Structure 1
Amino acid sequence: MKKALTFFLLLQIFVSFSFAQGKVKGYVFDSETNKPLPGANVYVENLTIGSATDQNGYFEISYVPAGKIDVIASFIGYARQKKTVEIVPGAEVNLTFYLKPTVLPSQTVVVTALIATERESPVVFSNFEKQQIKDFYTTQDVPILLSELPSVLSYSWSGNGIGYNYLNLRGFDQRRISVLVNGIPQNDPEDHGVYWLDMPDLLASAGSVQVQRGAGSAFYGPPAIGGSVNIITSNFSLEPKISLFTGYGSYNTKKHSIAINSGLIENRYLFYSRLSYIATDGYREKSWAKFPAYFFSAIRYDENMTTQINLYGGPFEDHLVYRGIPKSWVKDKSKRRANLNYMDVTTRDDEIENFSQPHYEFLHEWRLSDNLVLNNTLFYIRGVGFWDMDASWADTIYFRLSSPYALKYGFSTSSQNPGEAIARYFIDLNQYGWLPRLMLKHDGGELTIGAEFRLHRGLHWGKIVWAQNLPERLPSDYKFYQYRGAKDIISYYIHEFFKLKPNLKLMASLQFVYNRYRVYNEKEFYDYDLGKWVSNEFTVPFYFLNPKIGISYDLTKNINIFGSFSITSREPSRRDLYDASDGHWYPWGKRPNFEVRPDGSYDFTKPLVKPERLFDLEFGGGYFSDNYKFTANFYYMDFKDELVKSGQLNIFGDPIVGNAEKTRHVGVELTFELKDLLINGFEISGNATISRNKIIKHGVYVWKNPYTGEKYSTPRRIPLDGKRIAGFPDNMASLRISYRKSGLFISILGKYVGDFYTDNFNLIPSNNVNRIDRKVDAYTVFDLTAGYKIDKVLSFKNVELKLQVNNLFNALYAGSGVGDEFYPGAERNYFVGIGFEF
């Protein structure tokens, strides 16, 4: 009797509890295709109950407590969706979720403060989306692909866009553009340069590229002066597949690649890998290059975390191209392909380069709550390799073979110069970094607090690989220079995006930057002026505070206006301070840019090259709709101590720069896009930049008047006030017309670049006695891209044929120049390829 009573009471409690619960069931679909999403997670927030959808997208959650609850549906590659429902005891609730495809969660680590959004961010920017990359990328490097964007100028040392390529933004070179991959800085910490060939075939694994124009547009890397370029890698697929591509083109250019996607494994893991090979003979003589490349990425998704690792790079080899040609050769088909060295003869066969720079990235996102996200990025970049250059111009003093060195290192004194010689320049660079970021969503906005911690350590040396005449007993590993360079980088920033009203947004940020250069362990050299052995070792710190404020306002549902003001400072590169690889010990070599004490030594606390400081004002607006887009932006950039080109190159082909006391850049940027105009599938887009880039106050000291040819017994100052700044075209424009129907795609791009000078004297034949011409002439180039895609052929899917014809009308032009050296663009050339999947 007692047992029966106990059983009855337990049964009554169970029944009462069961009737106090309910059930939630329903379906989860893709919002764009309306197809079911099997394996999607559906759960009750703050409870440990949930379910996964079946092959039909159906789910069912039982024993849901009565009352108001939040039900969340999530799936990899889609935005989460939340629905609030009231559970009535004993009842069932039917829900249907339509999830919107979005960027994979792994990429949110580089979004928010780094990426601008249309009609939200008061920032001037352009996007190059994944479809555009698929349409127009084959073998060309990033600068060439982006050259159609507003205010972007690119050129290539080899002429055909493979190898050493350079990108200018509003005329500012790569040293003054912050370049990032997944939010990780790519500018070299010592010389601020960007070497795209260290990241071969990166665009094949890119999901999007955003180019922001104007100061202070990046929080990591060197402070952005001209703007920033942020490449986001994302080539994952939720379905397993293998992709192949092969192609061939002018100058024996070829590309082969294979990419493997694992698809989603256990609803948690994704793997992607790519191997590729790009090779070319180059447009210019002896400008061949070979670029094997790899990219590997793995992601793990957890309920509140995303973890990703990336590994990419490629050990390349190429023949050196570091000199331009005389301007008179640019229009001469028989001479414009010449590749000259510092002996003004064709480069030697053994002037080659070998280098490898693997990138290791760890990206982690922890969603602490719906309103709080912590991101951490760790990275390591190692670059090691050498380049061999003709040094037949060098004597025993440059190579440190003269009597003081012979006595010190125990070899015989040479009675003659080395004669024909090849010198090897070697670097081993190591960079470590940590980029933490905390994002807090609050009423009306989002606050981001972040930091950057980077350490760079580099070993540099040079030695003779071969020479006609070498002293007896010279050690085989004898280095004629050697030193170590270092840079420590610490920055903190705070960034606020706040909606004052639904149509009024405020953005404000403040960044503190600390940079410290160091040169140490330099091999001693004999200073003939001081008559003793010396080595230069120093530490130079820089401190900056960079504020920015902007506002965005929607006048109507289609019209937006914005404005921003920023102050940005940037330190000179370490080479600007001291180029220890450029023969500084030489009696007439490049000396350290520091004040000289009365005893002839250098005061390394007083650098002669100053940081540049920019005041940047931007305002503009646009009209936005589904099929039409028009924007206009005005910028006013006022500089103090801008680092400008002197019109000279160092021995490695890099421009030598110095401070200009006061300069100014003013311009207007216009863009438009028209889609499905009159004919479905027809698109037209374009942009134009009209600017003025002037020296307001600046002068240089010369021994010879560049205009009259008069020589001076002592240096005289030549004023440059009112001159155009070297390297800045005043006018640029591009126009692209495309048509897409079914599997057919065809597009024509026209790019116009106005003239610009190669030095700040603005020398043209009519204003100097020697009729020197240092102006890159204006040019227009047209490119054609055509493709045809078939969904399935036999067992292959997405078979795509592609044809590119560059410089369609065979223009003979120079893409850029420095001083008397001009870099020719390739004549008409083509590339054809085929890609498919299975």
Structure 2
Amino acid sequence: MKKQILILWIMCLLTTILYAQEKITLKVINKKMSPIPGATITVDGKTMQSDQLGILTFLLINPEHAEISVKHMGYHPKTFLLGKTTTAVTVQLTESSIQADEVFVYATRAGENSGTTYKNLTKEDLQKNNLGQDIPYLLDQTPGVVVGSDAGAGIGYTNMTIRGSNGQRINVTLNGIPLNDAESMGSFFVNLPDFASSTESIQIQRGIGTSTNGGAAFGGSINIQSDALETDGYAELNNTYGSYNTWKNTFKIGSGLLNNKFAFNARLSRIVSDGYIDRATSNLKSFYVDAGYYGKKHQLKATIFSGKEKTYQAWDGVPEDKLESDRTYNVFTYLNQTDNYTQTHHHLHYNYFATDNTTFNLALHYTKGAGYYEEYKAKEKFAKYGFADINIKDSIINTTDLIRRRWLDNKFYGFVFSLNHKFNSNQMLTIGGAANQYKGDHFGEVIWAQYASNSALGDKYYSNDAIKNDANIYGKWNGSFGKLYTYLDLQYRFVDYTFEGFDHNKQLTDVNVKHHFFNPKAGLTYSLSTASSIYTSYAFASKEPVRNDYVESAANARPTAERMHNIEAGYRIRKENLNIGTNVYGMFYKDQLILTGEINDVGSVLRENVPNSYRIGIEFDGSWIVSDKFTWNATAAFSSNKIKNYKEYLGVLDENWSDTGAPQVIKEYNSTTISFSPSTVLSNEFVYALYNPFRISLTSKYVSRQYLDNTEAKERSINPFFVSNLRFLYNFSIFGIKNMDANLAINNIFNKKYETNGYTYGGIDATSGLRLYGNAYYPQATTNFLLGLNVRF
């Protein structure tokens, strides 16, 4: 009997899905009755966009209960219930005298008809996954992206690659202001914990993309826009609890628009976790405050946000021989083997709306960072720290156990600007640029030693100062000629980088380099119909070496700037229930700085120039609304990533794996795969709405083999992995509360043991001539969960 009831229930459910759907056509227009293309339309939590005629068609069950939200930059948003018998509706948006905060990022983002390869993530996309994990984890379901973390659970230090390029080659801007560290070129999201809770949208451009501020994008760029203006006041309380004693607590409050001119927002966050890896704890705190004046002609918005992190070090990974017996092994055991850093950002944005067609934007910024990592070191030689030998009863002591701190005290400041002018409905010009200066003080001190020798507390055993000046100016022209859209983008960038003094190895390191880069870009988009288009683009960019490239390189192998030609071509289609983008690309490098597979003593990757290399591939990004209940999202990236005529230099090692000083052994390869560059990256998401406010999603990710060095040796590689996650999301409102979201994420539901990153080291055995190597990996968490409850008043 129960079986018959179950079958009957399933039949009724299928009947509902198949026959109760109604096709809804929505058209978005302005007060002149002209269509608004690219309007963001949210239907019961699903976010879509109108086509070039301002039209979106979709399927709904019980449309009278459907809540529709429509918004577009420069217009007042509109939210309404669809209604019982409505199958076609026209939504007229009125222009806002208060422009939305998208003007902060407009100059550095790709537009609707841009000939570049990009993906936009809305606030709704981010919120459904924001349970405390770092921003890279929120981008995991975008094409060609691979993410991982030192602690194994996505909290603390995380890493990300796009098209095989790591964070040093991914340009990140926040409201148009560079976020990458000026010296390492990495973006350390651990310093901005829970910034996703203050993010309105993120655009990910793959390849070189459009001109932006800061370092060149050699794998991709991430353009983050902070929270946009909300006209109504609100308060939010967001809490998460999960595996490994993970907690996230967030409180937000906003005034809404006061006196039709003023508004402020504030956020306070705390994230703590024990981590999957032993002792890999994280204690992260942050705040965000903004206050703005929003007039018809002028806007002024001040923003201050800060992050403070304390993480236990896990950067040495897990030795290969312990992966089976002790996957959570951490070589560090000293109680305070921690990384400690505080970073505070100050932004001041000014916008001037001279006319309906001309806008000027100026932003001043100042970032202050300071912190250290503390380490226990055994049997360190006195000479390494400038200590004198000790003579005790005719016994010479020249080593000691000690605790040291390596400090970084830095500041980064400057301005960015853009001038946007629309000549007519077919042509627009943007002129923009930036000028920034970075000052960094690197020094180390010994805070305890078994034998102090002639040292005193507060002495600096090394000190090195750095100054980096970075300026750029660009011009972007966009034009349309019937169905053909074109753009031309020209950028000039100047870099002046100097550092001098002794590095952490007591080696005198003085570097002064200047770079002049000219980076042209051009593209074409042709509209095949109101729903589809094809595009192609060419871009050239140059990128300077980072600090470690100089410090860790041999004196006769100084790094040089790298250059890249990028060709993109693609096809986009956006229909009533189908959204697909597919593209091919070629990235051709001269003197590419590639990862050698080794790391230094603080976990930073080492790189070397190779004369000729390339990355070519094909990517797919699709979403299919099968029914009002079921949506299928998928991405795919297939690539070939090769170095031509690669030379590997190997040291000759004794029985203790110490370099003998003998001449290096050179091995040559005609063609070999670039390290950490998987040939296949796939992601998949099934979303099922059991009923209107309750959704279930199953996401999966596959990443093919990655090589730890540039020799294609399987014994020095990361095994392919396939991981699936399950998520339950329930949206409801009770007791007059505006909105509540209950969110349960069960990650790695099949309990897979996998690694996303690693490193290798070794050389040639002096006796046998055989290859010696050791591998270490960064295991990721087995099955774990995060449970969140978000309340909005």
Q: TM-score, normalised by structure 2?
A: 0.83
Task: Find 1:612's aligned residue among 562, 569, 576.
Answer: 562
Corresponding residue for residue 296 of structure 1: 289
Equivalent in 243, 256, 259 of residue 252 of structure 2: 259
Instruction: Measure, in 2, the Cα distance between the counterparts of 1:712 and 1:721.
Output: 28
- C-alpha distance in 2, partners of 1:187/1:624? 34
Aligned to 2:30: none
| In the alignment, structure 1 residue 547 sits paired with structure 2 residue 520 | yes
Q: Which residue of structure 2 lines up, in the alignment, with residue 567 of structure 1?
A: 540
Which of 345, 348, 359 aligns to 1:359? It is 345
Could you say which residue in structure 2 is the equivalent of 1:724? 673
**Equivalence for 1:621:** 571
Give the alignment partner of residue 726 of structure 2, picking from 784, 788, 795: 784
Deviation per residue, 1:551-606 (Å, 9 max, x gap): 1001122221000111111010022112xxxxxxxxxxx5x6545xxxxxxxxxxx
Matched, 1:803 2:726: no
Choose 314-323 or 516-525, whichever is displaced more: 516-525
In 2: Cα distance, 1:608 partner to 1:78 partner: 50
Does residue 423 (structure 1) correspond to residue 404 (structure 2)? The answer is yes
CA deviation string 1:127-167 (max 9, x = no partner): 11111111111111011111110011111000000000011
Q: Distance in 1 between matches of 2:251 and 2:437?
A: 35
Distance in 2, matches of 1:362 and 1:608, equals 39
Where does residue 307 of structure 1 map in the other structure?
Answer: 300
Q: Secondary structure at the match of 1:392?
A: strand
CA distance in 2, matches of 1:524, 1:156: 26
- Which letter maps to 2:742? L
CA distance change for structure 1 residues 101 and 683 in 2, over 3 Å: closer, same or farther? farther
Residue 318 (structure 1) aligns with: 311
Q: Secondary structure at the match of 1:832?
A: strand
The amino acid that maps onto 1:229 is: I
Contact 1:181 1:232 in 2 (8 A): yes
Q: CA deviation at 1:761?
A: 2.2
CA drift of 1:32 comes to: 11
8 Å CA contact retained: 1:77, 1:103 = no
Q: Indicate whether 1:827 and 2:782 are aligned.
A: yes
Q: How does 1:696-735 map to 2 (within 5 A)?
A: 696-704=644-652, 713-735=662-684
Q: Is the 8 A contact 1:637 1:666 kept in 2?
A: yes
The DSSP-based 3-state class of the residue aligned with 2:430 is strand
Kindly provide the amino acid, as one letter, of the partner of residue 510 in structure 2.
Answer: E
Question: Does 2:492 correspond to 1:512?
Answer: yes
Within the candidate set 90, 93, 114, 1:99 is matched to 93
Query: In 1, distance between residues paired with 2:142 and 2:72?
Result: 32
Identify which of 431, 447, 450 aligns with 2:432: 450
What is the CA–CA distance in structure 1 between the aligned matches of 2:777 and 2:506, rounded to whole Å?
37
Q: Distance in 1 between matches of 2:452 and 2:653?
A: 40
CA contact (8 A) 1:366 1:373 kept: yes
Tell me the alpha carbon deviations over residues 422-449 of structure 1, each in whole angstroms, 9 at most, x when there is no partner.
2101111100020011111113211111
CA–CA distance in 2 between the matches of 1:224 and 1:177?
5
**CA pair 799-574 structure 1, distance change in 2 beyond 3 A:** same
* Structure 1 residue aligned with 2:111: 117
**CA shift in 2, pair 1:414/1:573, >3 Å:** farther
Output the amino acid matched with 2:127: K
* Of 557, 581, 590, the match for 2:530: 557
Output the CA distance in 2 between the equivalents of 1:433 and 1:502. 41
- Structure 1 residues 372, 328: closer, same or farther in 2, change over 3 A? same
Aligned-residue offset at 1:394: 2.7
Partner of 2:697: 747
2:15 matched to which residue of 1?
A: none
Letter paired with 1:518: T
Q: 1:339 aligns with which of 318, 322, 330?
A: 330
Check whether the contact 1:308–1:363 (CA below 8 A) recurs between aligned residues. Answer: yes
Asked if the contact 2:724/2:750 (under 8 Å) is kept, the reply is yes
Shift of 1:804: 0.8
The one-character-per-residue Cα deviations of 1:366-413 (angstroms, maximum 9, x if unpaired) are: 01112211110111111101110232253112222146xx99xxx999
How far the C-alpha of 1:613 sits from its partner, in A, is: 0.8
Give how far 1:360 is off.
0.7
Specify the SS of the correspondent of 2:184.
coil
Q: Which structure has the bigger radius of gyration?
A: 1
The alpha-carbon distance between structure 1 residues 525 and 260, as it changes in their structure 2 partners (threshold 3 A), is closer
- Give how far 1:730 is off: 0.5
Structure 2 residue 786 is matched with structure 1 residue 813: no
Residue 705 (structure 1) shift: 10
2-structure distance, mates of 1:507, 1:385? 43
Please state how far the C-alpha of 1:76 moved relative to its aligned partner: 12
Match of 1:667 among 611, 617, 629: 617
- Conserved in 1, the CA contact under 8 Å of 2:696 and 2:728? yes
* Kept in 1: contact 2:646–2:672 (CA 8 A): no
1:831 Cα shift? 1.0
Separation of aligned partners in 1, 2:226 and 2:505: 46
Q: Using the alignment, how far apart are the partners of 2:596 and 2:674 within structure 1?
A: 10
The one of 680, 683, 688 equivalent to 2:636 is: 688
Q: What letter is aligned with 1:415? A: I
Read off the aligned partner of 2:281 and give its amino acid letter: W
The 1-side partners of 2:740 and 2:505 are apart by 62
SS at match of 2:567: strand
For residues 277-330 of structure 1, what are the alpha-carbon distances to aligned partners after superposition, in whole Å with 9 as ceiling and x for unaligned? 110011100111111111111121111112111111222212111111123433
Count, aligned residues: 696
Q: Among 410, 418, 431, which residue is 1:437 paired with?
A: 418
Secondary structure class of the residue paired with 2:330: coil
CA distance in 1, matches of 2:573, 2:209: 25
Check 1:366–1:498 CA distance in 2 against 1; reply closer, same or farther (3 A cut).
same
SS of 1:420's equivalent in the other structure is strand
> How far off is 1:691 after superposition?
0.4
- Is the Cα–Cα contact under 8 Å of residues 488 and 523 in structure 2 kept in the other structure? yes
Asked whether the 8 Å contact 1:244–1:259 carries over to 2, the reply is yes
Note the 1:3-18 alignment, pairs <5 A: none
Asked whether the equivalents of residues 217 and 224 of structure 1 are also in contact (C-alpha less than 8 Å), the reply is no
Structure 1: which 5+ residue stretches go unaligned? 1-29, 34-74, 82-95, 341-345, 528-534, 579-589, 596-606, 765-772
Report how far residue 742 of structure 1 moved. Answer: 2.2
**Does residue 250 in structure 1 map to residue 226 in structure 2?**
no
Question: C-alpha separation between the residues in 2 aligned to 1:711 and 1:522?
Answer: 25
Could you tell me how far 1:420 is from its partner in structure 2?
A: 2.7
- Provide the secondary structure at the position in 2 that maps to 1:551: strand
CA 1:261 to 1:525, structure 2 compared with 1: closer, same or farther past 3 Å?
Answer: closer
Seq. identity, %: 27
Q: Cα gap change, 1:328/1:205 in structure 2, threshold over 3 Å: closer, same or farther?
A: same
Q: 1:654 to 1:413 in 2, by over 3 A?
A: farther
Find 1:774's aligned residue among 708, 713, 716.
716
What are the ranges of 5 or more consecutive residues in structure 2 without an aligned counterpart? Answer: 1-35, 42-70, 78-89, 761-774
How far does the alpha carbon of each residue in 1:202-244 deviate from its partner, in whole angstroms, 9 at most, with x for none? 0001111110001143421101111100111115432222111
1:39 corresponds to which residue? none
Work out whether residues 695 and 725 of structure 1, in 8 Å CA contact, stay in contact via their aligned partners in 2. Answer: yes
Q: Deviations over 1:652-677 (max 9, x none)?
A: 101110101111111000121112x1
Deviates more, 1:739-748 or 1:817-826: 739-748
Using the alignment, how far apart are the partners of 2:379 and 2:94 within structure 1? 65
| Distance (whole Å) between structure 2 residues aligned to residue 442 and residue 258 of structure 1 | 44
1:362-401 matches, within 5 Å, as: 362-392=348-378, 394-401=380-387
Counterpart residue identity of residue 747, structure 2: N
Query: Deviations along 1:170-216, whole A, 9 cap, x unmatched?
Result: 00000001011111111111111111111110000111111000114
1:768 equivalent in structure 2: none
CA separation of 1:426 and 1:711: change in aligned 2, threshold 3 A: closer
Q: Does the 8 Å CA contact 1:274/1:294 hold for their aligned counterparts?
A: yes
> Greater relative contact order (Cα 8 A, min sep 6): structure 1 or 2?
2
